[in-house]
Copies of this chain bind each other. A is one copy, B any other.
Amino acid sequence: MLDLNPAQVRKDLAYFGEFGKRGVGYSVSRLRDHLIEILGLQTRRNVGIVGAGGRLGHALALYKGFEKRNFKVVALFDKDPHVIHQPVGDSGTIHHISELPTIVRQLSIEILILTVPAEAVREVFDYILLSGVKAVLNFAPVKLNSTEEICVHNVDLAIELESLSYHLNRPGVNLP
């Protein structure tokens, strides 16, 4: 499914330890447990959404898929005074971003999802750095770089479309 050959799978697993028995194979359920452990997926992670007043933030706040994968949206933030105190689903009401550092610590939030417009990113990111959070998933079309302090994953929807546009121009170069 992932286009890997057996040697590569064994090599990658070897990086973390020995999980199989020579001549026998791997126990699927025990291997699964090891992978959950390696990825840190045993413990539920608390997540906050910054820009929850926007449509994307709203959609993600109400998305049921995160709970199934052991992530829980526990707090919502926005800059716009009009949406503050608005309730969204069962993640409580929207807080002003100035409260972010305090609430992140109070609720042990480990990951922040950023869904603010490009213009707001710099200001909001300062609050995020202040909060001490170590992981950010950024949907704003502004690349944020990871540092020793904080790990950022950037998801830029327009770039995804641009990448598909490139493939449309050269048929046959589809495959991975």
Contacts and interface: CB of A to CB of B under 8 A. Distances in A.
A23 interface: no
Interface in A97-121: 110-111
- Give the number of copies in the complex: 2
Sorted nearest first, the 4 A-B pairs with minimum C-beta distance are A40-B169, A55-B59, A151-B174, A135-B164
A65 interface: yes
A24 interface: no
A147 B171 CA distance: 11
Chain A interface, >50% SS class: mixed
A63 B71 contact: no
11 contacts: A39-B165, A55-B59, A55-B62, A66-B157, A66-B161, A69-B158, A69-B161, A110-B168, A111-B164, A151-B174, A153-B164
Interface residues of A, number: 54
A55 B63 contact: yes
Interface of A: 1, 38-41, 45, 47, 54-56, 58-60, 62-63, 65-66, 68-69, 71, 110-111, 134-137, 141, 143, 145-151, 153, 155, 157-158, 160-169, 171-172, 174-176
A143 B175 contact: no
B56 A168 contact: no
A65 B164 contact: no
Contacts of A62: 55
Contacts of A56: 56, 59-60, 63
A164 to B, nearest CB: 4
